[in-house]
Structure 1
Amino acid sequence: MDQFTLNLLVIGATFALYIGIAIWARAASTSEFYAAGRGVHPVLNGMATGADWMSAASFISMAGIIAMAGAGGYEQSAYLMGWTGGYVLLALLLAPYLRKFGKFTVPEFIGDRFYSKSARMVAVACLIIASVTYVIGQMTGVGVAFARFLEVKSSTGLYIGATIVFAYAVLGGMKGITYTQVAQYCVLIVAYTIPAIFISLNLTGNFLPQAGLFGTHSASGVALLAKLDSLVTELGFTQYTGHTKNTLNMVLFTMSLMIGTAGLPHVIVRFFTVPKVADARASAGWALVFIALLYTVAPAVGAMARLNLTTTFWPNAITGNAFDGPAVSVADIASKPELNWINNWVKTGLLKFEDKNGDGQIQYYNDKNPTVKAAAEAKGWTGNELTTVNNDIIVLANPEIARLPGWVIALVAAGGLAAALSTAAGLLLAIASAISHDVIKGAINPSISEKGELLAARIAMGAAIIVATYLGLNPPGFAAQTVALAFGIAAASIFPALMMGIFSKRINNKGAVAGMLSGLIFTLVYIFIYKGWFFFPGTNQLPDNVDNWVFGISPLSIGTVGALVNFAAAYIVSLATEEPPQEVQELIESIRVPKGAGAATAH
């Protein structure tokens, strides 16, 4: 059976499973559409939360960043620490209290806590901006996976993915999405770990990829990371296990991802689906276990992918004579079966090479390194001829590079799509819930019937899918970068409001609104200065590099500063105005100091 047919069968089977689950778990009420009827078991909710949270950025893009940046790029450790640490923050400081409050959406909590429709509407705006930005990264991942494995254009892949999400998300709501995400977690974790085990065995003889990362490279007899360091430095690249020079930016970026994670509405609402507060705490613990199964493997996947990629494009690199050895020839790429993966990915536009000097070889080296560049020019080379390696292809291409069986390649394709679609569905539900429950029912038509609200939620979901697909056609960067912008927006706007709403009785409605608006506007303006085309293609902007950043702070890291602006504005305005009403202060006290882990407050 050829690879395309195998991919089609495996991916088609998983899609049929998702739609079948949605039909079985169809939402029949607003409670089921928004919160799965509050009847999800903590273990299943933990698994669904893992799938909801481990997006295309985690499955597809994160290991690619680790592969290409190594420890020398601050992003490697930042993504790992920020996303996992943020989930701990969410589980300890927010989830149990929000569940005890017993509402359906994050804006609803903010509106009630700050006794203000204006605060609720500002929260809706913050939620939609963050969630739409986030979902673009997921749709980008869907396009990447489809482009390669179903051999269609990435735009066509987006349309197919959007259709699948529409089929199960609009039909099932949170109830359907929850049980679909359980299945998607099983698919994505198996798809991620099986290739990693095969590749670890092949390169190091270790069954566990985590052990293989720090094991011995079988072909050379030296430590795997030491071998990788040797190869990349000989080619003129930064040492793989080096250290970042921009410590401030790394700290701010990690913190932005951390508090952004804790402020993401689509993750928070997962804790509204369990029967009681104790179950919210338990499901948070289970989710961390399920998340760790992927996150502890990701560094090994990235390092081994970089080693495989390097030795593919420089065959002699395996002997330690990289710069003096022969490169891969254009003829080999066209004729050798083990190099078919190169042409497969060239067709997608995500991998490109060019024989610049016409010698029939593809030279791979860092032509930005002056010493290496001078030596290369002496040989008659005119620049690095591996011109494009998109970070998002690393995980998906790794099984092909390592020549693993066809069923493993198909499984990885299904896993990447599961990761992207699961998070996309959660984000779209958060957007639809905010529009139908907070805007339509909360502000426009409070007397709307349950049937009417359910219809409005489904229409809002459909509209959100259309908008997300349109924006996903022109993403501002690879998946993890786009997602990082969303985390920064959530960090600067939603997280501070939730923290102050739970832990401070002094913050009033005026302070909350001032804080959210200040944090959001500050962060958006900073991002716009360097990434204006993210919002409006063709917009003039400053070059997005460290020389132009204020105090060396990247647009991906500015969410931390935005959060500080939010906290400061909220406290200053609140202290200058009246205290919240006594009944609101008593409400806060009842949420923050629960009398037990019994049944949560009913909606």
Structure 2
Amino acid sequence: MDLKTLTYIVVGMTFALYLGIAFWARAGSTKEFYVAGGGVHPVANGMATAADWMSAASFISMAGLIAFMGYGGSVFLMGWTGGYVILAMLLAPYLRKYGKFTVPEFIGDRYYSKVARVVAVVCLIICSTTYVIGQMKGVGVAFSRFLEVKYEVGLLIGMVIVFMYAVLGGMKGITYTQIAQYVVLIFAYTIPAIFISMNLTGNPLPQLGLGSTMSGSDVYLLDRLDQVVTELGFAEYTTSVRGNTFNMFMYTLSLMIGTAGLPHVIIRFFTVPTVKDARSSAGWALVFIAILYTTAPAVAGMARLNLHETIKPMGGENLVYEERPQWFKNWEKTGLLEFEDKNGDGRIQYSANKATSEMVTVDQDIMVLANPEIAKLPHWVIALVAAGGLAAALSTAAGLLLAISSAISHDLLKGVIAPDINEKTELLASRIAMAVAICGAGYLGYNPPDFAAGTVALAFGLAASSIFPALMMGIFSKGINKEGAVAGMIAGITVTLLYVFQHKGIMFVPGTEFLGGMPENWFLGVEPNAFGAVGAAINFAVAYTVSRVTQAPPIEVQELVEHIRVPSGVAAAQDH
């Protein structure tokens, strides 16, 4: 069976599964729409959270980023997984104990202000909208290659699929759909990695294969990779850093606190029955995430080695363009891989020197999807990868769109504009808001803003600079008042956005090299995608300063903060 037909069958079967689950688990109340009824098992919620969080960025882009950045790509591994530790320890249990549906609802109640709630909604929409652009691109890229349709058609199909299961099922439908999507994406990611690790090193575990010797040789895979990339003029794979050490630190920190502040992830912890289950599901999510994240470095390193050795084996001649393999031709059709014969010799010259390199475009997003083809794996494995990439993009897109729609219907409409509407009207408003959000996301997918390079990392930076500090101070500081919280959120996200837009023309695209050093007008050498950590510091500073010169929060609010932090039963035990 040819690849195209097999891909249609595999992807079609997974879509049928998602829609069937959505119909079975359709929401009948606002509680089911927002938090799946609050009765999801922690293991199931951990799996759904992993799928929600491991977006197209994790599945499609991350290994590609690491492949081209080498050691510098560790910012994504450390930042995103480290953020989950913060989330599990410092946020999820306390927010679940408070027991509200959404992040803006918590912020509005904690800071006793509708203005704070509205500002949180605006921040949430900005962060989630920025993030969803990357998911829509992932859907378009996967469809355009494997279903051999135009990018626009692939994006439209993805929008229809998300519309059907997200609008129908709400959080309840999304939760059980995401469990299925996790199973699909994790098999799609690990099975090719096992095949490729066996081919290159003879070790079936990619995590160990990365540190093993090459098959039939005493040369270690990473040593071979360093030799290959340096021979072509690229930085050594195992020692290259991202810009400078401080920039790497700030980027990692921004990703960490941004992860802990992303609203579509936090809302998942309202779906479990108890506070203990919230902490447990965060732990399970980390386990499920670790399976992919410990595999990603191996996928990245092996993909980079396969790509270079296909075009120019060590000690051999450059590949003749007319003899290029089929995978090369397939990706040329997408425009994500482009060759220009600059010297007219008919061979593909590939090097770090952009003036002479004839590989004028090698989009890092193709690495995970192209790797099975480069390694000549069976067609069913390649089809499975296509289904996995789509599952990753669709699962996160659904979670983001639910966060956006619930912010509009529950926090703005029910919480501020029309508090007396009944549950049926609110549920209808939620579904309408979801439909509008999907149309808006589709528009941004067709017409991405000019700062779209690195939008996923930018979304984490925006969450880090706005939502994360408000949550942390709301839980751990009784002295922060409504004026401080509102001023802090506005200052943090405004400074971050201004910095990003100021430098949008020279934003560092992951996978490329700095030419001529770091741009002089970057603040302490911090790139725009890493500026969220600076924005967070400004948020904290402004909130504390304003709170000190304005009226303290009411006593009942300070008691609420104390109640959120103290474990159930402790106060009663202390009274005896």
Q: Name the TM-score class by shorter chain.
A: over 0.9
Q: Provide the residue aligned with 1:10 in structure 2.
A: 10
Q: What is the CA–CA distance in structure 2 between the aligned matches of 1:476 and 1:351, rounded to whole Å?
A: 22
Asked whether the 8 Å contact 2:451–2:504 carries over to 1, the reply is no
Asked whether the 8 Å contact 2:211–2:220 carries over to 1, the reply is yes
One-letter amino acid of the counterpart of residue 233, structure 1: T
Aligned-residue offset at 1:360: 1.3
One-letter amino acid of the counterpart of residue 329, structure 2: N
| 1:134 maps to 2:131 | yes
Q: Provide the residue aligned with 1:540 in structure 2.
A: none
Which residue of 207, 210, 226 maps to 2:204?
Answer: 207
Q: What is the CA–CA distance in structure 2 between the aligned matches of 1:530 and 1:57, rounded to whole Å?
A: 22
Q: How does 1:420-435 map to 2 (within 5 A)?
A: 420-435=393-408
SS at match of 1:362: coil
Aligned-residue offset at 1:544: 12
Aligned-residue offset at 1:416: 0.4
Q: What is the CA–CA distance in structure 1 between the aligned matches of 2:289 and 2:269, rounded to whole Å?
A: 16
| 1:578 maps to 2:551 | yes
Q: Provide the residue aligned with 1:371 in structure 2.
A: none
Q: Provide the residue aligned with 2:95 in structure 1.
A: 98
Aligned-residue offset at 1:573: 0.4
| 1:440 maps to 2:413 | yes
| 1:331 maps to 2:292 | no
SS at match of 2:191: helix
Q: How does 1:160-175 map to 2 (within 5 A)?
A: 160-175=157-172
| 1:483 maps to 2:456 | yes
Q: Provide the residue aligned with 2:105 in structure 1.
A: 108
Residue by residue, what CA displacement relative to the aligned partner does 1:391-419 show, whole Å, maximum 9, x if unpaired?
A: 11000000000000000000000000000
SS at match of 1:31: helix
One-letter amino acid of the counterpart of residue 454, structure 2: Q
Aligned-residue offset at 1:550: 2.1
| 1:149 maps to 2:140 | no
SS at match of 1:359: coil
Q: Provide the residue aligned with 2:341 in structure 1.
A: 355
One-letter amino acid of the counterpart of residue 574, structure 1: S
Q: What is the CA–CA distance in structure 1 between the aligned matches of 2:46 and 2:249, rounded to whole Å?
A: 28
Aligned-residue offset at 1:546: 3.2
With 516-525 and 350-359 compared, the bigger mean Cα shift is at 350-359
SS at match of 1:556: helix
Asked whether the 8 Å contact 2:140–2:151 carries over to 1, the reply is yes
One-letter amino acid of the counterpart of residue 307, structure 2: L
Q: Provide the residue aligned with 1:416 in structure 2.
A: 389
Residue by residue, what CA displacement relative to the aligned partner does 1:476-512 show, whole Å, maximum 9, x if unpaired?
A: 5898821100000000000000000000000000000
One-letter amino acid of the counterpart of residue 9, structure 1: I
Q: Provide the residue aligned with 2:45 in structure 1.
A: 45
Q: What is the CA–CA distance in structure 1 between the aligned matches of 2:478 and 2:192, rounded to whole Å?
A: 51
- Flag as ranges the 4+ runs of structure 1 deviating above 6 A: 477-480
Q: Provide the residue aligned with 1:372 in structure 2.
A: none
SS at match of 2:496: helix
One-letter amino acid of the counterpart of residue 352, structure 2: N
Q: Provide the residue aligned with 1:454 in structure 2.
A: 427
Asked whether the 8 Å contact 1:61–1:478 carries over to 2, the reply is no
One-letter amino acid of the counterpart of residue 318, structure 2: A
TM-score by length of 1: 0.91
One-letter amino acid of the counterpart of residue 25, structure 2: A
Aligned-residue offset at 1:24: 0.2
Asked whether the 8 Å contact 1:137–1:475 carries over to 2, the reply is no
Q: What is the CA–CA distance in structure 2 between the aligned matches of 1:101 and 1:571, rounded to whole Å?
A: 23
Q: Percent identity?
A: 70
Aligned-residue offset at 1:474: 3.6
Q: Provide the residue aligned with 1:562 in structure 2.
A: 535
Asked whether the 8 Å contact 1:476–1:482 carries over to 2, the reply is no
Q: Provide the residue aligned with 1:22 in structure 2.
A: 22
Q: Provide the residue aligned with 1:473 in structure 2.
A: 446
Q: Provide the residue aligned with 1:551 in structure 2.
A: 524
Q: What is the CA–CA distance in structure 2 between the aligned matches of 1:532 and 1:129, rounded to whole Å?
A: 20
SS at match of 2:443: helix
Asked whether the 8 Å contact 1:507–1:571 carries over to 2, the reply is yes
Aligned-residue offset at 1:548: 3.5
Residue segments in structure 2 that go unaligned for 5+ positions in a row: 508-515, 571-576
Q: Provide the residue aligned with 2:188 in structure 1.
A: 191
Q: Provide the residue aligned with 1:378 in structure 2.
A: none
Question: Cα–Cα, structure 1 residues 128 and 430, in superposed 2: closer, same or farther, change >3 Å?
Answer: same
One-letter amino acid of the counterpart of residue 589, structure 1: E
Residue segments in structure 1 that go unaligned for 5+ positions in a row: 334-338, 369-381, 535-542, 598-603
| 1:383 maps to 2:356 | yes
Aligned-residue offset at 1:156: 1.3
Asked whether the 8 Å contact 2:451–2:501 carries over to 1, the reply is no
One-letter amino acid of the counterpart of residue 348, structure 1: T
Asked whether the 8 Å contact 1:155–1:473 carries over to 2, the reply is yes
Q: What is the CA–CA distance in structure 1 between the aligned matches of 2:431 and 2:156, rounded to whole Å?
A: 19
Q: Provide the residue aligned with 1:300 in structure 2.
A: 298
Q: What is the CA–CA distance in structure 1 between the aligned matches of 2:483 and 2:309, rounded to whole Å?
A: 60
Q: Provide the residue aligned with 2:510 in structure 1.
A: none
Q: How does 1:389-400 map to 2 (within 5 A)?
A: 389-400=362-373
Question: Cα–Cα, structure 1 residues 523 and 331, in superposed 2: closer, same or farther, change >3 Å?
Answer: same
Q: Provide the residue aligned with 2:288 in structure 1.
A: 290
Q: What is the CA–CA distance in structure 2 between the aligned matches of 1:460 and 1:169, rounded to whole Å?
A: 11
Q: What is the CA–CA distance in structure 2 between the aligned matches of 1:124 and 1:544, rounded to whole Å?
A: 39
Q: Provide the residue aligned with 2:32 in structure 1.
A: 32
Q: What is the CA–CA distance in structure 1 between the aligned matches of 2:506 and 2:425, rounded to whole Å?
A: 38
Asked whether the 8 Å contact 1:181–1:422 carries over to 2, the reply is yes
With 558-567 and 471-480 compared, the bigger mean Cα shift is at 471-480
Aligned-residue offset at 1:475: 3.5
Aligned-residue offset at 1:357: 1.8
Q: Provide the residue aligned with 1:237 in structure 2.
A: 234
SS at match of 1:387: strand
Number of residue pairs the alignment of both structures matches: 561
| 1:273 maps to 2:271 | yes
Residue by residue, what CA displacement relative to the aligned partner does 1:12-35 show, whole Å, maximum 9, x if unpaired?
A: 000000000000000000000000
Asked whether the 8 Å contact 1:138–1:479 carries over to 2, the reply is no
Residue by residue, what CA displacement relative to the aligned partner does 1:565-591 show, whole Å, maximum 9, x if unpaired?
A: 000000000000111001111111110
Q: Provide the residue aligned with 1:601 in structure 2.
A: none
Asked whether the 8 Å contact 1:476–1:533 carries over to 2, the reply is no
Q: Provide the residue aligned with 1:538 in structure 2.
A: none
Question: Cα–Cα, structure 1 residues 533 and 247, in superposed 2: closer, same or farther, change >3 Å?
Answer: closer
Residue by residue, what CA displacement relative to the aligned partner does 1:115-172 show, whole Å, maximum 9, x if unpaired?
A: 0000000000000000000000111111110010001111211111111000000000
With 564-573 and 480-489 compared, the bigger mean Cα shift is at 480-489
Aligned-residue offset at 1:452: 0.4
Q: Provide the residue aligned with 2:512 in structure 1.
A: none
Aligned-residue offset at 1:218: 1.6
Aligned-residue offset at 1:596: 4.7
Question: Cα–Cα, structure 1 residues 554 and 476, in superposed 2: closer, same or farther, change >3 Å?
Answer: farther
One-letter amino acid of the counterpart of residue 340, structure 2: E
Q: What is the CA–CA distance in structure 1 between the aligned matches of 2:406 and 2:59, rounded to whole Å?
A: 26
Asked whether the 8 Å contact 1:137–1:480 carries over to 2, the reply is no
SS at match of 1:355: coil
Aligned-residue offset at 1:424: 0.4
Q: CA RMSD in A?
A: 1.6
